[in-house]
Structure 1
């Protein structure tokens, strides 16, 4: 059996790894010229780690990543809204380290631009991200990802940290976590109109410079070379993740706000769920329907939940009630 995977990111490489382990012939077509050398830390929750185990890279991620068991939600003055325990094992790992592990046994064809759905294979897996051209061809432009009304800045600074915190205020948040390599990872989100101009570090230091010392210390160490900036989007509810012999996975199917930390995890789970469906049946279209039933409802709930959490974290109203509820539910 032959699969063509459009997109050599997290979901595409995971699906490729599973299919290759089960004897499939797989082509992975990636438009970039190499795997990225930059990228922020990603949380690997237990379902994602189990999926990584299924393709033989779970232990490698555990060895390079940073275990995460607790965290805190703070106010801009540094006072605590709630302290959180993270159930089960969870790992923070940088995107480059994760992609390198996923690509270790997967041949990737770089510099490949795909403008139409491939036809020379048994199944096409569209892992071409938030701006998926294949999704457009399957369902049309009405199902493109929509602006969340927020922009994000992510990066890392020298020196490590042993704590995980997220600081919430009206219209903005700032997170600080450990990262592999002895670095400190940070992420910021601000409610802005899509496409709003900013001047990077100056904007962040102006917006967050009055916050508590841990935030200011990170701001003082930011290097523009490591700073990533983009608008945030989330997907509308698609009528299906499959059509004919084509399946959507990851952000092509269910782009979500980062506030639950599940985007990368769900792309990994997608890849293994799809791989299991395909290797468990000789009927491709039946296998794809099984994948759709297994993943569409759950990921739609996460898309809605992530957007709701973004609103809760950056709300300008009812913060005392929110904080009290978080303290009780911690």
Structure 2
């Protein structure tokens, strides 16, 4: 039986373990933390990632239905810039990261072994396998150890790695009773977004331009339109993280028998909400290519050829959208908002008449 070691037990790592298990591989998952689990707040699971999870047998993540409440982009005073219904965008499933993580790990079978409290310090490989810390060996290693990946640094020591975006992010979960479909509010160098989770709570996030490493509170958003003040007041915990993505061009996702996956390969800003989804799609693509080819090296080359160009586009698009969202110049902000309004009207005019009526702001 083929063997694999997955380094990192975040969303991408555990999805890779399930995917490899379904291909008939024996998998060892290594996690630095003392316990298996996921921290954070909400996460968007787009239809393409939902499809991968369904193929892997993960239950409980369903495709979102159409928006039934007003949602879209607003100004800090509450005036609408564009409605989500006008843009005709896909609707993701919104779920807490910990809940999604539990749904995926529930599919672990006898072929998956988990070792927590394990810190990877060295990795070496030859034509027959890969060795971790001189005590573990497998046919394949999947590096899902995050944006500051130890394994990526070992493989590509000259690579610049993470790049600060120029803004920090706040996140929280609010258990509040509001009648709002959510969306984003764009100000000057600040952004606030919120969406309902499938469990009835609301996930919210905010960004603000500031130097890397500065600690702050999202107090400026307390004067923004309803229900933003209520969401802030209804959150027991507020997380703050500076936003980084990976320097372009991305390094190859494969070197020998070692594969980069998720943030270790293509960490992106959260503006498109595609980071975790891309990791899930990585896992699905890796398993598919391994299943379609009897030669490991050929399968890994096909994985890199598929996933590196696709995720490079997402890193670029997400970074570009983040720059637009975080603009501070009032004139540029006005032009930006006007273009979004015009774009929404044009898209709305081109859309065919729908038989399902949606609530509009």
TM-score by length of 2: 0.84
User: What residue is the counterpart of 1:114 in the other structure?
Assistant: 120
How many angstroms does 1:88 deviate by?
4.6
Q: 1:221 aligns with which of 219, 226, 234?
A: 234
Q: Which runs of 5+ in 2 are unaligned?
A: 124-129, 132-136, 345-361
The residue aligned with 2:218 is 204
SS across alignment from 1:182:
coil
Q: Residues 127-276 of structure 1 correspond to what in structure 2 (within 5 A)?
A: 127-161=144-178, 162-198=180-216, 203-205=217-219, 207-223=220-236, 226-236=237-247, 237-276=249-288
RMSD of equivalent CA atoms:
1.8
Measure how far apart 1:37 and its partner are. 5.8
In the alignment, which residue of structure 2 is the partner of 1:303?
315
**1:194 Cα shift?**
0.9
Larger Rg: 2
In the alignment, which residue of structure 1 is the partner of 2:105? 103
Who is 1:73 aligned against? Answer: 73
Structure number with higher helix proportion = 1
Change over 3 Å in CA distance of 1:154–1:36 after alignment to 2: farther
SS in 1 for 2:205: strand
When normalised by structure 1's length, the TM-score is 0.92
How far apart are 1:155 and its partner, in Å? 1.0
2:32–2:118 Cα contact (<8 Å) kept: yes
Say which SS state the counterpart of residue 146 (structure 2) adopts.
Answer: coil
Residue 95 of structure 2 aligns with which residue? 93
- 1:94-127: per-residue Cα shift (whole Å, max 9, x none)? 1011100111122422111111225211111000
**Equivalent residue, structure 1, for 2:342:** 328
CA distance 1:139–1:38, shift in 2 (3 Å)? closer
**1:28 matched to 2:21:** no
* Unpaired segments ≥5 residues, structure 1: none
Alpha-carbon distance between aligned partners in 2 of 1:301 and 1:152, rounded to the nearest angstrom? 22
1: CA distance, partners of 2:91 / 2:244 = 29
- Partner residue, 1:60: 60
The Cα of 1:89 is off from its aligned counterpart by 5.2
**1:294 offset after TM fit, Å?**
0.4
Cα distance in structure 2, aligned partners of 1:227 and 1:67: 29
Q: Which of 307-316 and 82-91 deviates more?
A: 82-91
